[in-house]
Amino acid sequence: MAKTLPKTDVVIVGVGWAGGIIASELTKSGLNVVGLERGKERKTEDYFMVHDELRYALRYELMQDLSKDTVTFRSTEKIRALPMRSYGSFLLGEGLGGAGVHWNGQTYRFLPYDFEIRSKTIERYGKGKIPDGMTIQDWGITYDEMEPYYDKFEKLTGISGEPNPLGGKRSAGYPTPPMKKSPALSLFADAASKLKLHPYMMPSANLSEPYTNPDGISRAACQYCAYCERFGCEYGAKADPVVTVLPVALKTGKFEIRTHSHVRRILHKGGKATGVMYTDVTTGEELIQPADIVVVTSYVFNNVKLLLMSGLGKPYDAASGTGVIGRNYAYQVLKGNAAGFFDEKQFNTFAGAGSLGVTLDDYNGDNFDHTDLKFIHGGSISLSQTGMRPIANNPVPAGTATWGAEFKANSVKYANRVLSVGGQGSCMPFRHHFLDLDPTYKDAYGDPLVRLTFDFEEQDRQLALYLSGKCAEIMKEMGASHIDQLKELGPYEITTYQSTHNTGGVVMGATPDTSAVNTYLQMWDAENVFVVGASAFPHNSGYNPTDTVGALAYRASEGILKYRQKGGKLV
């Protein structure tokens, strides 16, 4: 018999970026908040010996234990979904701070086009431009309305950057100046400028200088140590929920974090949530945490799973195209790139930072004419210097042997002579790409795994090839001796790492028939349940998602406080 705990004002499921920001905002406003995190405690001091590529980047030390919970995957509904048994395409975060601990820190605002993608595409190209089955939709909120929330997240984290010549309007500049430009970055920027493109320094959550944020949190500057993505930051220089928002929430005395607490159900009655039921994973004990408001911030897959297991919101049915929970899943098309081999030069690519780079949006959004192209949207193109760690990076020109004497000689020769220009492609949702519950496989607690049905479409293939061509043009201008570029996208496969930019499943929108939450991330079907994260994205843009996730968390916080005051549906 589950033990019932004393009621709190708000219970938050999953304490990463979204959960952390909301906890901070709500406790600062006087609410009592309980944060339930499935994983363990984490702090900066844990990362003293973090420059260990094998342990963190290849053995996935900071990531979720897949033996307890994973997803199943199939490319279409015609085949049986099978478990993702080991890590590949994306890496699931866990623990206090979630993936906010081991991200790279690349922090981009989406474009004005993104928030009104359906209307603007039709306006410019006509309805026929949107292929059958592509389910893009307007977000219900505009870039201008999002702007203040982007500003807040960027000031929280101290983003180091300079304005994007092709981006949306900004009310303020970045809080800290851009990072240092390495020779590789300068080479890329010069080449891009020569080609009349608009390069600018990548907006970075790795601080370019010491910074104190509006909450009074001081952090040190990034040391360019080249151990960012998949690693915790031992300097606190990389913005991380544990370093930025959790201390603020805890200081109010109104935030209680319970780790090792796996939420399995949202309890509800008569269209309103009453709290959550969770398992203490250390003892196995089941507990009930009653609350006036439930906030679900447990990553894209788990947000969907929790709602489906709890019977909240209408499950998506691909055959009829009705329902919303699990709808509009999307990813990132990251294979359009060009690798340049430089016989005459070496670069200090052993050094770097997660968001050290130069980027450009000339081929992103609707910034270029798609009239004669067989795809919409595009992607950002960047040269980033995140640090080429020695196990994972042994590039050789295409056609070279992949083992033996020829491989060894070439991989050693080119160790510091390879640069990569990459396209981060947007990903459009389709009617037959979705998340639901697997009928066969279960997690360690007896609940079904989330099932992912997804593949690349012609939209993605055309987009990837187009971007890789543009990448190769820039690489040629950079003077590489030899260039290898993507020839063919191929099917989506779950075995090779691409990105952990999974989006959709609990999308936001203006109306309940095609969205699960309104523009305050409040569920249409349960007014005291807020579901926040990239699960809210109706499509994914040509950028990393975290700035938008952070902005939506601030937006949701505002909504929760409004709801606390007045109650009822906010939209």
Number of residues that bind another protein (CB under 8 A): 78
Part in contact with another protein (CB under 8 A); list of ranges 170-178, 296-304, 485-493, 497-505 = 485-493
Interface residue with another protein among 59, 194, 272, 569 (CB under 8 A) is 59
Using the minimum distance from each CB to another protein, give the nearer residue, 322 or 346.
Answer: 346
Q: What are the backbone dihedrals phi and psi of residue 98, each rounded to the nearest 5 degrees, phi first?
A: 55, -145
To the nearest whole angstrom, how small is the minimum distance from the Cβ of residue 269 to another protein? 34
Instruction: State the binding string over 241-270 for another protein (x if CB under 8 A, else -).
Output: --x---------------------------
Choose one: 1-9, 77-85, 302-310, 498-506; the region binding another protein (CB under 8 A).
77-85
Closest CA to 230 of 424, 63, 17: 63
Distance (Å, whole) CA 361 – CA 363: 5
b/e per residue 160-193 (b: at least 16 CB within 10 A): bbeebebbbeeeeebbbebbebbebbebbbebbe
**Whole-number minimum distance, CB 42 to another protein, in Å?**
12
Dihedral Cα 503, 333, 104, 142, nearest 10 deg: -50
Say how far apart CA 220 and CA 211 lie, in whole Å.
Answer: 7
| Of residues 222 and 532, the one with the C-beta less far from another protein | 222
Q: Of the listed pieces 97-105, 153-161, 398-406, 500-508, which binds another protein according to CB under 8 A? A: 398-406
Structure tokens at 191: 């080449």
Per CB under 8 A, which of residues 144..203 are in contact with another protein? 180-183
Distance between CA atoms of 478 and 481, rounded to whole angstroms? 9
Give least dist CB 87 to another protein, A.
8
Q: Does 4 bind another protein (CB under 8 A)?
A: no
Which residues within the stretch 401-440 sit at the binding site for another protein (CB under 8 A)?
402-405, 407-409, 412-413, 415-416, 440
HSE-CB for 208 with a 13 A CA cutoff: 19
Nearest-approach distance from CB 415 to another protein, in angstroms: 4
Span of 222-230, 263-271, 302-310, 458-466 interacting with another protein by CB under 8 A? 222-230
**Among 37, 138, 147, 234, contact with another protein (rule: CB under 8 A):** 234
Output 52 or 285, the one with its CB closest to another protein: 52
By CB under 8 A, is residue 53 in contact with another protein?
A: yes
Query: Residue 322 interacts with another protein (CB under 8 A)?
Result: no
Number of alpha carbons in the 13 Å side-chain half-sphere of residue 57: 18
Residues 377-396 that bind another protein (CB under 8 A): 390-391, 394
* By CB under 8 A, residue 77 contacts another protein: no
Q: Which helix (H) or strand (E) holds 470?
A: helix 458-478
For residue 402, give both structure tokens. 């992949």
48 near another protein (CB under 8 A): yes
Is-contact 326 364, C-beta < 8 A? Answer: no
**Strands 286-296, 3-4: pairing kind:** parallel
Q: Which of 11, 84, 166, 358 binds another protein (CB under 8 A)?
A: 84
The encoded tokens of residue 132 equal 């059958």
> What's the CA gap between 532 and 114, in Å, rounded?
18
The DSSP element (H or E) to which 139 belongs, if any, is none
* Binding-site string for another protein from residue 277 to residue 316, where x marks contact by CB under 8 A and - marks none: ----------------------------------------
- Give φ, ψ of 76 to 5 degrees: -140, 170
- CA dist 230 and 499 (Å) reads 11
Asked if 450 touches another protein (CB under 8 A), the answer is: no
Element housing 98 (H / E):
none
Q: Does the annotation mark 268 as catalytic? A: no
374, burial (CB in 10 Å: exposed 0-12, middle 13-18, buried 19+): middle
Q: Which is nearer to another protein, 2 or 444 (CB)?
A: 444
Maximum alpha-carbon separation in the chain: 72
| Least CB distance to another protein at residue 240 (A) | 11
Which part of the chain contacts another protein (CB under 8 A), choosing from 82-90, 164-172, 516-524, 555-563?
82-90
**What stretch of H or E contains 441?**
strand 434-442
Nearer to another protein, 300 or 494 (CB): 494
Supply φ then ψ for residue 287, to 5 degrees. -130, 150
Question: Rounded to the nearest 5°, which phi and psi values hold at 244?
Answer: -100, -65
Given 262, 268, 377, 501, which residue is catalytic? 501
66/195 with CB nearer another protein: 66
Task: Candidates 38-46, 193-201, 502-510, 555-563: pick the segment binding another protein (CB under 8 A).
Answer: 38-46
Under rule CB under 8 A, residue 219 binds another protein: yes
Q: Which stretch binds another protein (CB under 8 A): 119-127, 129-137, 262-270, 347-355?
A: 347-355
493 binds another protein (CB under 8 A): yes
Query: Quick one: tokens of 156?
Result: 């929280």
Q: Identify the residue among 241, 315, 352, 559 touching another protein (CB under 8 A).
A: 352
Span of 231-239, 461-469, 535-543, 557-565 interacting with another protein by CB under 8 A: 231-239
Map the footprint of another protein across residues 531-550, applying CB under 8 A.
none
Rounded CA separation 38/281 (Å):
8
Distance CA 451, CA 457 (A): 19
Of the pair 67, 371, the CB lying nearest another protein is at: 67
Interaction between residue 82 and another protein (CB under 8 A): yes
| 570 contacts 555 by C-beta, under 8 angstroms | no
Identify which of residues 40 and 408 has a Cβ nearer to another protein in the complex: 408
Dihedral, 506, 507, 508, 509 alpha carbons, nearest 10: -130
Task: Name which of 139 and 430 has its Cβ closer to another protein.
Answer: 430
* Shortest separation between residue 344's beta carbon and another protein, angstroms: 12
Q: Are 531 and 523 in contact (CB under 8 A)?
A: yes
Which are the catalytic amino acids? 501
